[in-house]
Amino acid sequence: MKFHEYETIMTGARRMFRGTAVEPPTEADLDNFLASAQGVVRDSSSYSMMLLHRKQDIQWALDQKPYYSVYPSISPMLTKLQLDKVQSSHIRLPHGLKSLSLRFPVGCELGNEVRTIWIHHLDQVRNPLNDTVCQGLSLGIDHGEVRDGLPVYLIRCFPLVEKQSVEDALDLLPASWTLSEGKQLAPEVIADAVRLACTICLIGDDPSILEPEVLSKDKHRVDQSNLENLVEKARRRGKLGWSLGRSIETIPHYRRPHPALVWTGVGRKIPKIIMRSGSVVHRDAVAAVPTGYGDDEDEKPVLP
């Protein structure tokens, strides 16, 4: 299964100069441009979005470019979980990371449009409730829009506030200025993308649905005895990724395993997403199906 790849600003900028006589820009060139453009660019929103995107790129590189390959069997489940009882302050990126890229399969995009989502921890973000500063997340949603050769991400800043549920925080997200410009994305798809990202942050490192990825050439060698070594080998080669939902069974007569919100810790105050095991649907009805017909060895078929 082929997945979309997260594209940094530098990747897009270098592609613009491919096949030309102009030397492609360097990381320093891009940073100098952003520094000089501050206060000069007329469209402050565009500048702010580019600056957030660049900060995500830098942190993502420092974190060794971590990603989740989100399989189509699980992504619809993660958008349907209601998080109205989960405080947004409980949302934290998994594995101690400060950035993460979520990528969806080609042909199975989230909402038929979202190809990748990046999540970036922010030390400071505006709390729309009281206009104060708090910690938060920025989410960049790639839905295929390109402007002047560069990918355009729809960016949402999500505050992490105590005594405020995730659903309430979603309702407070202001209407994006990009909804009236360029390629538009339906509000419900944006809400699903944000909800999916928050749910993934609550999953943690559940091995029942989250599997570390190894190098392509080592996939056929993976077993429990060498998995750890092969994962470490992949990380040394610059591959830091996990498959989310790849192992979920899809047997027709079984209810598939599904994510569920549970409360853990002292006083059951810490939310966590776990996977409920698959189960037979209407087990009694299945057991009551008549059997044994046609088993009489003496009974011969009547030929015409």
pLDDT at 254 over 60: no
pLDDT band at 252; cut points 50, 70, 90: very low
Separation in Å, CA 26 to CA 9, 48, 226, 234, 262: 11, 21, 39, 27, 47
Q: Return the higher-pLDDT residue of 73 and 129.
A: 73
Q: What percent of the chain has pLDDT over 70?
A: 81
Looking at residues 89-112, what average pLDDT do you find? 92
Give 164's contacts (C-beta < 8 A, 6+ positions apart). 87, 88, 89, 129
Q: Please write the tens of the pLDDT for every residue from 102-139.
A: 999 999 999 999 999 999 998 887 776 777 788 888 88
Q: Which of 84, 104, 100 is nearest to 92 (CA)?
A: 100
Is 215 within 8 Å of 237 (Cβ atoms)?
A: yes
Q: Please write the tens of the pLDDT for every residue from 12-58.
A: 888 877 778 888 888 888 888 777 766 555 445 666 777 888 889 99
